[in-house]
Amino acid sequence: MITLENLQKTYPAAHGENSPAPVLRGVLVNIEKGDFVAIMGKSGCGKSTLLNILGCLDDYTGGRYLLYGKEVAAFNSKQKARARSKTFGFVFQSFHLLASETVLDNVKLPLRYSDIPKKDYDKVALSTLESLGIAHLSSKYPSALSGGEQQRAAIARALVNSPDVILADEPTGNLDSDTGKLIMKTLTRLHEEAAKTIILVTHDVKIASYADKLIEMRDGVIANCFSCKKGGEC
């Protein structure tokens, strides 16, 4: 599903600076449909950069990224937008819900980029909220929700277009450990029951242990890749 070959990323130099060191220096990885992958590594090692490239939110500067066998660098803006809205759903550490919109309206936002008719938006968004056990919060504003509820609303927003892949960047980073566990149980259920591919960035070993595959990043490359179920290297 996702193949990275010698993937590289160098950000442009900030004004007045010398050219910066590359952040990703040749990432090689293969992610299959239905995988549950955790990416770990020190702060600043390029985990978010990698996730943003996977989700077509950012461009890479070298190597190859094949999504369903197609080179992403060759995508036009329409194909990229389609990947962002149909293939991937994003979940972030700080939820990124719009404070001025209700939970229902937040969850409805990505539907604008779908083929679903407008008259069905409420129904689709509500049933997604229901599947996460928070339909009763649909008319509330994010500020009235607990952190765990906000993250579940954000997961609903990520799911509403039925993406194949959930990309989650430190999704439990702003939550206490019990709430973090509940969020991980939700992601595990999506993986097991809805066959979602999950790619999760975390610096917490306990959170990573929910995944089937563990990728360790170091110095802009994949230092290790373990199969958690089988034991040993991938």
Ligand X SMILES: Nc1ncnc2c1ncn2[C@@H]1O[C@H](COP(=O)(O)OP(=O)(O)O)[C@@H](O)[C@H]1O
- Applying CB under 5 A, the residues found at the interface with Mg ion are 48
The reply on whether position 48 binds ligand X by CB under 6 A is yes
The reply on whether position 45 binds ligand X by CB under 6 A is yes
Residue 43's binding partner, choosing from Mg ion, ligand X, none, with beta-carbon cut-off 5 to 8 A by kind? Answer: ligand X
The reply on whether position 223 binds ligand X by CB under 6 A is no
- Which amino acid belongs to residue 53? I
Q: Work out the angle between the directed axes of helices 147-159 and 121-131 (0-180°, nearest 10).
A: 130
Member of 35, 36, 40, 47 binding ligand X (CB under 6 A): 47
Per-residue buried b or exposed e for 184-210, using 16+ beta carbons within 10 Å of the residue's own CB = bebbeebbeeeebbbbbbbeeeebbeb
The reply on whether position 4 binds ligand X by CB under 6 A is no
The candidate with the shortest Cα–Cα distance to 171, out of 186, 157, 151, 156, is 151
- Give the nearest distance from C-beta 8 to Mg ion in angstroms: 18
- Give the nearest distance from C-beta 165 to ligand X in angstroms: 18
Q: What is the 3-state secondary structure (H, E, C) of 71-128?
A: EHHHCCHHHHHHHHHHHEEEEECCCCCCCCCCHHHHHHHHHHHCCCCHHHHHHHHHHH
Nearer to Mg ion, 48 or 87 (CB): 48
Which residues within the stretch 17-36 sit at the binding site for ligand X (CB under 6 A)? 23
The reply on whether position 100 binds ligand X by CB under 6 A is no
Residues that bind ligand X (CB under 6 A): 11, 23, 41, 43-49
